[in-house]
Structure 1
Amino acid sequence: MSTQQTVLLVQNAEGSGPGRLVEWITEAGLRPVVLRADAGEPVPTEPGTHAAVVLLGGGLLPDDDARAPWLGAERTLARTCLRTRTPLLGICLGGQLLAVVAGGRVAADHGKPEKGVTDVHIRADARDDPLLGALLGALRGSVPAVESHRDAITALPQDAVWLASSERCPYQAFRLGAAAWGLQMHPEVHADGIASWDPADVRELGFDPEEVTARARSQSDLLETTWSGVLRRFLVLAGTPLSPVPS
Protein backbone atom coordinates (compact mmCIF):
# COMPACT_ATOMS: atom_id res chain seq x y z
CA MET A 1 0.00 0.00 0.00
CA SER A 2 1.31 3.47 -0.95
CA THR A 3 2.23 5.82 1.88
CA GLN A 4 2.52 8.84 -0.41
CA GLN A 5 1.03 11.94 1.20
CA THR A 6 -2.10 13.33 -0.44
CA VAL A 7 -3.48 16.83 -0.91
CA LEU A 8 -7.26 17.19 -1.11
CA LEU A 9 -8.53 19.73 -3.65
CA VAL A 10 -12.25 20.58 -3.42
CA GLN A 11 -13.68 21.74 -6.76
CA ASN A 12 -16.82 23.88 -6.58
CA ALA A 13 -17.54 24.59 -10.25
CA GLU A 14 -16.81 22.94 -13.59
CA GLY A 15 -14.90 25.97 -14.84
CA SER A 16 -12.83 26.35 -11.66
CA GLY A 17 -10.66 23.27 -11.65
CA PRO A 18 -7.23 22.79 -10.05
CA GLY A 19 -5.28 23.81 -13.17
CA ARG A 20 -1.53 23.91 -12.58
CA LEU A 21 -1.88 22.84 -8.95
CA VAL A 22 -2.05 19.18 -9.96
CA GLU A 23 1.32 19.42 -11.72
CA TRP A 24 2.97 21.38 -8.91
CA ILE A 25 1.69 19.02 -6.21
CA THR A 26 2.92 16.01 -8.16
CA GLU A 27 6.33 17.61 -8.72
CA ALA A 28 6.58 18.12 -4.95
CA GLY A 29 6.22 14.36 -4.43
CA LEU A 30 2.64 14.41 -3.12
CA ARG A 31 -0.50 13.03 -4.73
CA PRO A 32 -3.35 15.40 -5.63
CA VAL A 33 -6.88 14.13 -4.93
CA VAL A 34 -9.51 16.23 -6.75
CA LEU A 35 -12.97 16.02 -5.19
CA ARG A 36 -15.76 17.22 -7.51
CA ALA A 37 -18.23 18.71 -5.03
CA ASP A 38 -20.06 20.33 -7.94
CA ALA A 39 -20.60 16.88 -9.46
CA GLY A 40 -22.13 15.42 -6.32
CA GLU A 41 -19.08 13.92 -4.61
CA PRO A 42 -19.55 14.31 -0.83
CA VAL A 43 -17.31 16.83 0.89
CA PRO A 44 -15.74 15.51 4.11
CA THR A 45 -16.02 17.60 7.26
CA GLU A 46 -12.48 16.78 8.37
CA PRO A 47 -9.22 16.33 6.47
CA GLY A 48 -8.71 12.73 7.55
CA THR A 49 -5.38 11.41 6.30
CA HIS A 50 -4.80 14.22 3.79
CA ALA A 51 -1.66 16.20 4.50
CA ALA A 52 -3.20 19.45 3.24
CA VAL A 53 -6.46 20.83 1.84
CA VAL A 54 -7.09 23.30 -1.00
CA LEU A 55 -10.53 24.88 -1.47
CA LEU A 56 -10.94 26.07 -5.06
CA GLY A 57 -13.02 28.86 -6.58
CA GLY A 58 -16.41 29.09 -8.28
CA GLY A 59 -19.05 31.71 -9.01
CA LEU A 60 -20.71 31.35 -5.63
CA LEU A 61 -20.82 33.06 -2.25
CA PRO A 62 -19.51 31.11 0.77
CA ASP A 63 -23.05 30.66 2.16
CA ASP A 64 -24.82 30.05 -1.16
CA ASP A 65 -26.19 26.75 0.12
CA ALA A 66 -29.35 26.89 -2.02
CA ARG A 67 -27.25 26.68 -5.19
CA ALA A 68 -24.43 24.62 -3.71
CA PRO A 69 -25.69 22.42 -0.84
CA TRP A 70 -22.21 21.03 -0.16
CA LEU A 71 -20.94 24.40 1.09
CA GLY A 72 -22.09 23.66 4.64
CA ALA A 73 -19.78 20.65 4.77
CA GLU A 74 -17.00 22.68 3.16
CA ARG A 75 -17.31 25.35 5.84
CA THR A 76 -17.08 22.65 8.51
CA LEU A 77 -14.02 21.21 6.76
CA ALA A 78 -12.37 24.64 6.88
CA ARG A 79 -13.14 25.01 10.59
CA THR A 80 -11.72 21.56 11.29
CA CYS A 81 -8.53 22.37 9.38
CA LEU A 82 -8.14 25.53 11.47
CA ARG A 83 -8.64 23.56 14.70
CA THR A 84 -6.28 20.73 13.74
CA ARG A 85 -3.82 23.11 12.05
CA THR A 86 -3.97 21.09 8.84
CA PRO A 87 -2.39 23.22 6.09
CA LEU A 88 -5.28 24.90 4.26
CA LEU A 89 -5.26 27.08 1.15
CA GLY A 90 -8.45 28.84 0.03
CA ILE A 91 -8.54 30.25 -3.50
CA CYS A 92 -11.09 32.93 -4.51
CA LEU A 93 -14.37 31.40 -3.24
CA GLY A 94 -12.24 29.15 -1.00
CA GLY A 95 -10.48 32.17 0.47
CA GLN A 96 -13.78 33.96 0.99
CA LEU A 97 -15.19 30.87 2.70
CA LEU A 98 -12.19 30.73 5.03
CA ALA A 99 -12.73 34.37 5.93
CA VAL A 100 -16.41 33.82 6.69
CA VAL A 101 -15.93 30.77 8.94
CA ALA A 102 -13.41 32.73 11.03
CA GLY A 103 -15.65 35.76 11.49
CA GLY A 104 -14.94 37.89 8.40
CA ARG A 105 -17.46 39.20 5.88
CA VAL A 106 -17.99 38.78 2.13
CA ALA A 107 -20.31 40.78 -0.15
CA ALA A 108 -21.68 40.06 -3.61
CA ASP A 109 -20.81 42.44 -6.47
CA HIS A 110 -18.68 44.51 -4.14
CA GLY A 111 -16.33 47.21 -5.41
CA LYS A 112 -14.78 46.93 -8.87
CA PRO A 113 -14.37 43.51 -10.50
CA GLU A 114 -10.97 42.11 -11.48
CA LYS A 115 -10.38 39.98 -14.57
CA GLY A 116 -7.01 38.83 -15.89
CA VAL A 117 -3.56 39.72 -14.59
CA THR A 118 -3.47 42.32 -11.80
CA ASP A 119 -0.58 43.81 -9.85
CA VAL A 120 -0.80 42.64 -6.24
CA HIS A 121 1.03 44.52 -3.51
CA ILE A 122 2.68 42.39 -0.82
CA ARG A 123 2.25 44.23 2.49
CA ALA A 124 4.96 44.73 5.09
CA ASP A 125 3.00 42.48 7.47
CA ALA A 126 3.89 39.59 5.15
CA ARG A 127 7.59 39.89 5.93
CA ASP A 128 7.64 36.81 8.18
CA ASP A 129 4.93 34.91 6.33
CA PRO A 130 6.05 31.41 5.24
CA LEU A 131 4.31 31.70 1.87
CA LEU A 132 4.35 35.35 0.77
CA GLY A 133 7.27 36.79 2.73
CA ALA A 134 9.70 35.78 -0.01
CA LEU A 135 7.82 37.99 -2.50
CA LEU A 136 8.41 41.26 -0.63
CA GLY A 137 11.59 42.03 -2.55
CA ALA A 138 10.10 41.17 -5.96
CA LEU A 139 9.25 44.11 -8.24
CA ARG A 140 9.32 46.48 -5.24
CA GLY A 141 6.76 44.41 -3.41
CA SER A 142 4.29 43.96 -6.28
CA VAL A 143 3.76 40.73 -8.19
CA PRO A 144 1.39 39.75 -11.01
CA ALA A 145 -1.56 37.53 -10.15
CA VAL A 146 -4.54 36.20 -12.09
CA GLU A 147 -7.90 37.53 -10.94
CA SER A 148 -11.48 36.60 -11.81
CA HIS A 149 -14.07 37.90 -9.35
CA ARG A 150 -16.83 40.39 -8.69
CA ASP A 151 -17.58 39.34 -5.09
CA ALA A 152 -15.09 40.31 -2.41
CA ILE A 153 -14.11 40.09 1.23
CA THR A 154 -15.24 43.28 2.97
CA ALA A 155 -13.79 42.55 6.43
CA LEU A 156 -11.07 40.13 7.50
CA PRO A 157 -11.42 37.97 10.60
CA GLN A 158 -10.19 39.72 13.73
CA ASP A 159 -7.18 37.42 14.12
CA ALA A 160 -6.15 37.41 10.45
CA VAL A 161 -2.79 38.72 9.23
CA TRP A 162 -3.41 40.91 6.18
CA LEU A 163 -0.77 39.97 3.59
CA ALA A 164 -1.61 41.51 0.20
CA SER A 165 -3.84 44.02 -1.59
CA SER A 166 -4.56 45.40 -5.06
CA GLU A 167 -5.85 48.71 -6.38
CA ARG A 168 -9.39 47.35 -6.81
CA CYS A 169 -9.55 44.81 -4.00
CA PRO A 170 -7.87 45.42 -0.63
CA TYR A 171 -8.07 41.90 0.77
CA GLN A 172 -6.06 39.82 -1.70
CA ALA A 173 -4.38 37.51 0.80
CA PHE A 174 -4.45 36.77 4.52
CA ARG A 175 -3.28 34.15 6.99
CA LEU A 176 -5.09 32.61 9.95
CA GLY A 177 -2.98 30.94 12.60
CA ALA A 178 0.09 29.01 11.51
CA ALA A 179 -1.19 27.07 8.52
CA ALA A 180 -4.25 28.57 6.79
CA TRP A 181 -4.21 31.08 3.94
CA GLY A 182 -6.93 32.76 1.92
CA LEU A 183 -6.17 34.14 -1.56
CA GLN A 184 -8.48 36.21 -3.74
CA MET A 185 -6.29 35.54 -6.79
CA HIS A 186 -6.05 32.35 -8.85
CA PRO A 187 -2.49 30.94 -8.76
CA GLU A 188 -3.68 27.82 -10.59
CA VAL A 189 -4.68 29.63 -13.81
CA HIS A 190 -2.16 29.89 -16.66
CA ALA A 191 -2.14 32.08 -19.77
CA ASP A 192 -3.72 29.41 -21.98
CA GLY A 193 -6.59 29.18 -19.50
CA ILE A 194 -7.16 32.93 -19.71
CA ALA A 195 -7.14 32.75 -23.51
CA SER A 196 -10.02 30.25 -23.30
CA TRP A 197 -12.26 32.58 -21.23
CA ASP A 198 -15.55 33.56 -22.88
CA PRO A 199 -14.92 37.01 -24.43
CA ALA A 200 -18.49 38.06 -23.63
CA ASP A 201 -17.91 37.39 -19.92
CA VAL A 202 -14.69 39.41 -19.99
CA ARG A 203 -16.38 42.36 -21.74
CA GLU A 204 -19.30 42.24 -19.30
CA LEU A 205 -16.88 43.09 -16.50
CA GLY A 206 -15.46 46.02 -18.47
CA PHE A 207 -12.28 44.46 -19.84
CA ASP A 208 -10.94 43.95 -23.38
CA PRO A 209 -10.47 40.19 -24.01
CA GLU A 210 -7.49 40.69 -26.34
CA GLU A 211 -5.70 42.96 -23.87
CA VAL A 212 -6.40 40.54 -21.02
CA THR A 213 -4.98 37.60 -22.99
CA ALA A 214 -1.96 39.57 -24.24
CA ARG A 215 -0.96 40.67 -20.75
CA ALA A 216 -1.35 37.13 -19.42
CA ARG A 217 0.94 35.77 -22.12
CA SER A 218 3.54 38.50 -21.52
CA GLN A 219 3.55 37.73 -17.78
CA SER A 220 3.34 33.94 -18.15
CA ASP A 221 6.88 33.10 -17.00
CA LEU A 222 6.73 35.44 -13.99
CA LEU A 223 3.32 34.09 -12.99
CA GLU A 224 4.70 30.54 -13.15
CA THR A 225 7.80 31.34 -11.10
CA THR A 226 5.94 33.39 -8.50
CA TRP A 227 3.00 31.13 -7.75
CA SER A 228 4.69 27.75 -8.15
CA GLY A 229 7.09 28.96 -5.47
CA VAL A 230 4.22 29.99 -3.20
CA LEU A 231 2.60 26.58 -3.60
CA ARG A 232 5.87 24.74 -2.98
CA ARG A 233 6.26 26.62 0.30
CA PHE A 234 2.69 25.69 1.23
CA LEU A 235 3.39 22.03 0.52
CA VAL A 236 6.46 22.08 2.77
CA LEU A 237 4.02 22.63 5.61
CA ALA A 238 2.15 19.49 4.57
CA GLY A 239 5.22 17.51 5.62
CA THR A 240 5.56 19.41 8.92
CA PRO A 241 2.63 18.35 11.14
CA LEU A 242 1.56 20.86 13.78
CA SER A 243 -0.21 20.16 17.04
CA PRO A 244 -3.96 20.91 17.11
CA VAL A 245 -5.12 24.18 18.62
CA PRO A 246 -5.86 23.57 22.33
CA SER A 247 -9.58 23.39 23.12
Structure 2
Amino acid sequence: MELSELAFKRLDRNTNASDYIDWAVGLLYEGSDSQSVAMLASFDLEKEPDAEQVEYYFKLCVSDLGIKLPSQDEWYEALLEYTSDICKKMVSGSLDLKDGAYELLSIAEDNNDPYMLTIWIDLLRDLSEASHPLKVDNIFFNSSLNLNDYDACICLTAQQYISLSSISLPEKFPWVWMCSKCNYVTDLNTWTTSLTACCPNCTGVSTLKNMRYFEHRDHYLSNIQLKTPN
Protein backbone atom coordinates (compact mmCIF):
# COMPACT_ATOMS: atom_id res chain seq x y z
CA MET A 1 0.00 0.00 0.00
CA GLU A 2 1.31 3.47 -0.92
CA LEU A 3 1.58 6.13 1.76
CA SER A 4 -0.86 8.41 -0.08
CA GLU A 5 -3.55 5.69 0.04
CA LEU A 6 -2.88 4.93 3.69
CA ALA A 7 -2.92 8.61 4.64
CA PHE A 8 -6.20 9.24 2.84
CA LYS A 9 -7.92 6.16 4.24
CA ARG A 10 -6.68 7.11 7.69
CA LEU A 11 -8.49 10.44 7.40
CA ASP A 12 -11.66 8.55 6.48
CA ARG A 13 -11.11 6.12 9.38
CA ASN A 14 -11.13 3.36 6.80
CA THR A 15 -7.94 1.52 7.75
CA ASN A 16 -7.17 -1.67 9.62
CA ALA A 17 -3.99 -3.12 11.11
CA SER A 18 -3.09 -5.02 7.95
CA ASP A 19 -2.97 -1.76 5.94
CA TYR A 20 -0.22 -0.35 8.16
CA ILE A 21 1.65 -3.65 8.19
CA ASP A 22 1.50 -3.98 4.38
CA TRP A 23 2.85 -0.45 4.05
CA ALA A 24 5.79 -1.25 6.33
CA VAL A 25 6.51 -4.52 4.52
CA GLY A 26 6.57 -2.57 1.26
CA LEU A 27 9.13 -0.14 2.70
CA LEU A 28 11.35 -3.04 3.73
CA TYR A 29 11.25 -4.45 0.22
CA GLU A 30 12.27 -1.01 -1.04
CA GLY A 31 15.33 -1.12 1.21
CA SER A 32 14.29 0.81 4.32
CA ASP A 33 16.64 0.21 7.25
CA SER A 34 14.41 1.91 9.83
CA GLN A 35 14.07 -0.13 13.02
CA SER A 36 10.53 1.12 13.60
CA VAL A 37 9.55 0.06 10.07
CA ALA A 38 11.02 -3.38 10.72
CA MET A 39 9.08 -3.67 13.98
CA LEU A 40 5.83 -2.69 12.29
CA ALA A 41 6.45 -5.10 9.44
CA SER A 42 7.13 -7.92 11.91
CA PHE A 43 3.43 -7.95 12.84
CA ASP A 44 2.92 -9.62 9.46
CA LEU A 45 4.01 -12.83 11.18
CA GLU A 46 1.15 -12.64 13.68
CA LYS A 47 -2.26 -14.12 12.94
CA GLU A 48 -4.15 -11.41 14.85
CA PRO A 49 -1.87 -8.40 15.39
CA ASP A 50 -2.78 -6.05 18.22
CA ALA A 51 -4.30 -2.91 16.65
CA GLU A 52 -3.02 -0.60 19.40
CA GLN A 53 0.52 -1.90 19.04
CA VAL A 54 0.34 -1.51 15.27
CA GLU A 55 -0.85 2.08 15.71
CA TYR A 56 1.97 2.76 18.17
CA TYR A 57 4.67 1.53 15.80
CA PHE A 58 3.10 3.30 12.84
CA LYS A 59 3.38 6.58 14.73
CA LEU A 60 7.00 5.74 15.48
CA CYS A 61 7.58 5.20 11.76
CA VAL A 62 5.99 8.54 10.98
CA SER A 63 8.28 10.25 13.49
CA ASP A 64 11.45 8.39 12.45
CA LEU A 65 10.91 8.93 8.73
CA GLY A 66 9.86 12.57 9.08
CA ILE A 67 6.50 11.97 7.45
CA LYS A 68 3.87 14.69 7.62
CA LEU A 69 0.42 13.16 7.53
CA PRO A 70 -2.45 15.29 6.18
CA SER A 71 -4.97 16.74 8.62
CA GLN A 72 -8.74 16.63 8.19
CA ASP A 73 -8.51 20.17 6.79
CA GLU A 74 -6.31 18.73 4.02
CA TRP A 75 -8.75 15.96 3.06
CA TYR A 76 -9.17 17.15 -0.53
CA GLU A 77 -5.43 17.53 -1.08
CA ALA A 78 -4.92 14.02 0.32
CA LEU A 79 -7.56 12.72 -2.07
CA LEU A 80 -5.78 14.33 -5.03
CA GLU A 81 -2.42 12.87 -4.02
CA TYR A 82 -3.92 9.39 -3.58
CA THR A 83 -5.80 9.44 -6.89
CA SER A 84 -2.85 10.98 -8.72
CA ASP A 85 -0.68 8.10 -7.50
CA ILE A 86 -3.22 5.67 -8.96
CA CYS A 87 -2.93 7.50 -12.28
CA LYS A 88 0.87 7.27 -12.14
CA LYS A 89 0.57 3.49 -11.78
CA MET A 90 -1.77 3.42 -14.76
CA VAL A 91 0.60 5.44 -16.93
CA SER A 92 3.63 3.38 -15.88
CA GLY A 93 1.83 0.13 -16.68
CA SER A 94 1.93 -1.25 -13.14
CA LEU A 95 -1.86 -0.99 -12.96
CA ASP A 96 -4.22 -2.00 -15.76
CA LEU A 97 -5.75 1.12 -17.35
CA LYS A 98 -9.33 -0.08 -17.17
CA ASP A 99 -8.93 -1.40 -13.61
CA GLY A 100 -7.43 1.93 -12.56
CA ALA A 101 -10.21 3.95 -14.18
CA TYR A 102 -12.88 1.94 -12.40
CA GLU A 103 -10.97 2.15 -9.12
CA LEU A 104 -11.08 5.95 -9.48
CA LEU A 105 -14.79 5.79 -10.28
CA SER A 106 -15.34 3.72 -7.14
CA ILE A 107 -13.44 6.27 -5.04
CA ALA A 108 -15.60 9.02 -6.55
CA GLU A 109 -18.81 7.18 -5.70
CA ASP A 110 -17.63 6.41 -2.16
CA ASN A 111 -16.85 10.09 -1.53
CA ASN A 112 -19.89 11.82 -3.05
CA ASP A 113 -18.24 12.59 -6.40
CA PRO A 114 -15.52 15.12 -5.47
CA TYR A 115 -15.04 17.80 -8.13
CA MET A 116 -11.76 16.59 -9.66
CA LEU A 117 -12.97 13.02 -9.93
CA THR A 118 -15.74 14.29 -12.19
CA ILE A 119 -13.05 14.02 -14.88
CA TRP A 120 -13.23 10.22 -14.56
CA ILE A 121 -17.00 10.09 -14.23
CA ASP A 122 -17.33 12.11 -17.45
CA LEU A 123 -14.77 10.01 -19.32
CA LEU A 124 -16.27 6.65 -18.44
CA ARG A 125 -19.76 7.92 -19.26
CA ASP A 126 -18.52 9.22 -22.62
CA LEU A 127 -16.81 5.92 -23.42
CA SER A 128 -19.96 4.04 -22.52
CA GLU A 129 -22.22 6.26 -24.61
CA ALA A 130 -19.88 6.66 -27.58
CA SER A 131 -21.72 3.84 -29.34
CA HIS A 132 -24.87 6.01 -29.43
CA PRO A 133 -23.63 9.22 -31.13
CA LEU A 134 -27.04 10.08 -32.58
CA LYS A 135 -28.73 10.57 -29.21
CA VAL A 136 -29.56 14.28 -29.18
CA ASP A 137 -29.31 14.56 -25.39
CA ASN A 138 -25.74 13.27 -25.24
CA ILE A 139 -23.07 15.61 -23.94
CA PHE A 140 -19.55 14.41 -24.68
CA PHE A 141 -16.91 16.18 -22.64
CA ASN A 142 -14.16 14.10 -24.23
CA SER A 143 -15.08 14.26 -27.90
CA SER A 144 -11.61 15.61 -28.74
CA LEU A 145 -10.30 12.14 -27.85
CA ASN A 146 -10.76 9.06 -30.00
CA LEU A 147 -13.50 7.46 -27.93
CA ASN A 148 -13.13 4.26 -29.94
CA ASP A 149 -9.66 3.78 -28.44
CA TYR A 150 -10.52 2.96 -24.84
CA ASP A 151 -6.98 2.55 -23.51
CA ALA A 152 -5.63 5.68 -25.20
CA CYS A 153 -8.45 7.78 -23.75
CA ILE A 154 -7.79 6.49 -20.25
CA CYS A 155 -4.02 6.92 -20.52
CA LEU A 156 -4.24 10.49 -21.84
CA THR A 157 -6.73 11.40 -19.13
CA ALA A 158 -4.49 9.87 -16.47
CA GLN A 159 -1.53 11.93 -17.73
CA GLN A 160 -3.65 15.08 -17.65
CA TYR A 161 -4.99 14.28 -14.18
CA ILE A 162 -1.46 13.88 -12.81
CA SER A 163 -0.49 17.31 -14.17
CA LEU A 164 -3.64 18.98 -12.86
CA SER A 165 -3.20 17.45 -9.42
CA SER A 166 0.28 18.96 -9.14
CA ILE A 167 -0.82 22.60 -9.48
CA SER A 168 -3.11 24.99 -7.66
CA LEU A 169 -6.57 24.98 -9.25
CA PRO A 170 -9.68 27.14 -8.82
CA GLU A 171 -12.22 25.90 -6.32
CA LYS A 172 -14.73 23.45 -7.86
CA PHE A 173 -12.45 22.69 -10.82
CA PRO A 174 -13.39 21.35 -13.39
CA TRP A 175 -16.96 22.51 -12.68
CA VAL A 176 -15.93 26.01 -13.72
CA TRP A 177 -15.54 28.28 -16.72
CA MET A 178 -12.18 30.06 -17.07
CA CYS A 179 -11.27 32.95 -19.31
CA SER A 180 -8.14 32.34 -21.35
CA LYS A 181 -7.64 36.08 -21.67
CA CYS A 182 -8.13 37.55 -18.17
CA ASN A 183 -8.25 34.38 -15.98
CA TYR A 184 -11.77 35.18 -14.79
CA VAL A 185 -13.42 32.15 -13.17
CA THR A 186 -17.13 31.43 -12.75
CA ASP A 187 -19.02 28.37 -11.59
CA LEU A 188 -21.93 28.73 -13.99
CA ASN A 189 -23.52 25.46 -15.11
CA THR A 190 -20.95 23.32 -16.95
CA TRP A 191 -23.40 20.57 -17.96
CA THR A 192 -23.90 21.91 -21.45
CA THR A 193 -22.85 21.32 -25.04
CA SER A 194 -21.43 24.85 -25.05
CA LEU A 195 -17.65 24.75 -25.02
CA THR A 196 -17.07 28.51 -24.88
CA ALA A 197 -18.83 31.76 -24.02
CA CYS A 198 -18.11 35.47 -23.96
CA CYS A 199 -16.32 36.59 -20.82
CA PRO A 200 -18.42 39.00 -18.69
CA ASN A 201 -15.25 40.38 -17.12
CA CYS A 202 -13.08 41.33 -20.11
CA THR A 203 -15.78 40.94 -22.82
CA GLY A 204 -13.50 38.57 -24.73
CA VAL A 205 -15.37 36.70 -27.46
CA SER A 206 -15.43 32.94 -26.79
CA THR A 207 -12.58 33.28 -24.31
CA LEU A 208 -14.55 31.73 -21.45
CA LYS A 209 -13.82 28.00 -21.56
CA ASN A 210 -15.86 25.19 -20.05
CA MET A 211 -13.33 23.16 -18.06
CA ARG A 212 -15.41 19.99 -18.14
CA TYR A 213 -14.04 19.57 -21.68
CA PHE A 214 -10.78 17.67 -22.04
CA GLU A 215 -9.26 19.98 -24.66
CA HIS A 216 -9.80 23.09 -22.54
CA ARG A 217 -8.02 21.52 -19.58
CA ASP A 218 -5.19 20.57 -21.94
CA HIS A 219 -4.93 24.13 -23.27
CA TYR A 220 -4.95 25.44 -19.72
CA LEU A 221 -2.01 23.20 -18.79
CA SER A 222 -0.14 24.15 -21.97
CA ASN A 223 -0.53 27.86 -21.18
CA ILE A 224 0.78 27.34 -17.64
CA GLN A 225 3.83 25.51 -18.98
CA LEU A 226 4.51 28.32 -21.45
CA LYS A 227 4.38 30.89 -18.65
CA THR A 228 6.62 28.89 -16.32
CA PRO A 229 10.26 30.09 -16.52
CA ASN A 230 12.87 27.45 -17.34
TM-score by length of 1: 0.27
Pair member with larger Rg: 2
Q: Which has the higher helix share?
A: 2
Q: Which has the higher strand share?
A: 1
